[in-house]
Amino acid sequence: AQSVAQPEDQVNVAEGNPLTVKCTYSVSGNPYLFWYVQYPNRGLQVLLKYITGDNLVKGSYGFEAEFNKSQTSFHLKKPSALVSDSALYFCAVRGISGSARQLTFGSGTQLTVLP
Amino acid sequence: DAGVIQSPRHEVTEMGQEVTLRCKPISGHNSLFWYRQTMMRGLELLIYFNNNVPIDDSGMPEDRFSAKMPNASFSTLKIQPSEPRDSAVYFCASNVAGSSYNEQFFGPGTRLTVL
């Protein structure tokens, strides 16, 4: 069965500093990977996704993530954090066949950017 | 595009009452998902439909929960009778089954409080 681990429930970072939100995954075959963001009282929305190609994926609001196959990781990064980036972030993975084609979400990481 | 529409946005009810949550997926999407989000358990997939047919309901917590999709543009999640532990935010999501990206689009959620 596929799985996603987000080892940090909470990440705090000062505004202007770089941020990293960690994600590791387990799936059979090649993965499709996603980062979703959830702002307070809102639904989830896709921030970026890796399907194939370049291992460095650029997404919305200046975020990027690097797909590392050997470490089975897909960490979310941003060079300079903004207070408005404060939200709940979910990593998700799907496989390419059968039941693995449905998304499996991590437990979420609450990012707080301090002014 | 109006996105995924959910109603009501907030529901407060008393224990033992029937609760019905509604979802309208994005036009043209043929897969629909119901999720529940709580602080304790995070984001849980309850059930999903492909072409109006329930495919996997293994996440439905118990017989008090039922979901239907009578047509491609409407789904309901019903809880009868409701209990305080059902208090959560319930999300509906939709996508195009079989697409390479399988990206799910989420509604704004229904916040359910059972007193």
Q: How far is CA A47 from CA A19, A35, A60, B71, B91, in A?
A: 15, 5, 6, 30, 18
Q: Please tell me the predicted confidence (pLDDT) of residue B59.
A: 87
- Whole-number pLDDT of residue A96: 64
Distance from CA of B93 to the nearest CA of A (A): 9
Question: In this structure, what is the dihedral angle of CA atoms A85, A87, A88, A90, given to the nearest 10 degrees?
Answer: -30
pLDDT tens track for B38-83: 988 888 899 999 999 998 888 898 899 999 999 999 999 999 999 9
Q: Does A89 touch chain B (CB under 8 A)?
A: no
Chain B residues whose beta carbon lies within 8 Å of the beta carbon of residue A32:
100-102
Mean of per-residue pLDDT scores for chain B = 92
Q: How far is B48 from chain A (nearest CA, A)?
A: 9
Mutate to test the interface with A, among B4, B102, B105 (most CBs of A within 10 A): B102
CB A43 within 8 A of CB A36: no
Task: Please report which confidence band the pLDDT of residue A99 belongs to, taking 50, 70 and 90 as the band edges.
Answer: low
Predicted local distance difference test score (pLDDT) of residue B25: 96
Segment A48-52 long-range contacts (CB within 8 Å, at least 24 positions apart)? A48/A76, A49/B101, A49/B103, A50/A74, A51/B100, A51/B101
Chain-chain contact of B42 with A102 (C-beta, under 8 angstroms): no
Pick from B67, B65, B57, B61: which is nearest to B22 by CA? B67
Nearest CA in chain B to A6: B42
Q: Tokens for B27?
A: 């036009």
pLDDT of residue B99: 66
Examine the pLDDT at B100 and tell me if it is beyond 80: no
Contact B15, B114 (CB under 8 A): yes
Residue with the bigger pLDDT between A60 and B79: it is B79
A59-70 residues labelled b (16+ CB within 10 A) or e (exposed): beeebbbebeee
Q: Where are the beta strands (DSSP E) in chain B?
A: 5-7, 10-13, 19-24, 31-38, 42-50, 53-56, 65-71, 74-79, 88-95, 105-106, 110-114
Judged by DSSP in three states, A22 sits in: coil
The pLDDT assigned to B37 comes to 92
Mutate which: B5, B37, B43, B94, vs A, most A CBs within 10 A? B43
- A7-48 confidence digits (pLDDT tens): 999 999 999 999 999 999 998 888 889 999 999 888 899 999
CB B94 within 8 A of CB B73: no
Tell me the C-alpha distance between B36 and B61, whole Å. Answer: 10
pLDDT of residue A97: 61
Inter-chain contact B42–A105, Cβ cutoff 8 Å? yes
Q: Do B102 and A105 touch (CB under 8 A)?
A: no
Whether A101 has a pLDDT exceeding 90, the answer reads no
**Amino acid letter for position A46:** V
Residues of B engaging A, defined by a Cβ cutoff of 8 Å: 4, 42-43, 45, 48, 56, 91, 93, 100-104, 106-109
The pLDDT assigned to B81 comes to 96
Q: What is the pLDDT of residue A29?
A: 82
pLDDT of B20 strictly over 80? yes
Residue of A nearest to B39 (CA): A107
Nearest to B100 among A44, A51, A99 (CB): A51
Residue A100 has pLDDT above 60, yes or no: no
The answer, yes or no, to whether residue A64 has pLDDT greater than 80, is yes
Peptide bond between residue B8 and the one before it cis (omega within 30 degrees of 0): yes
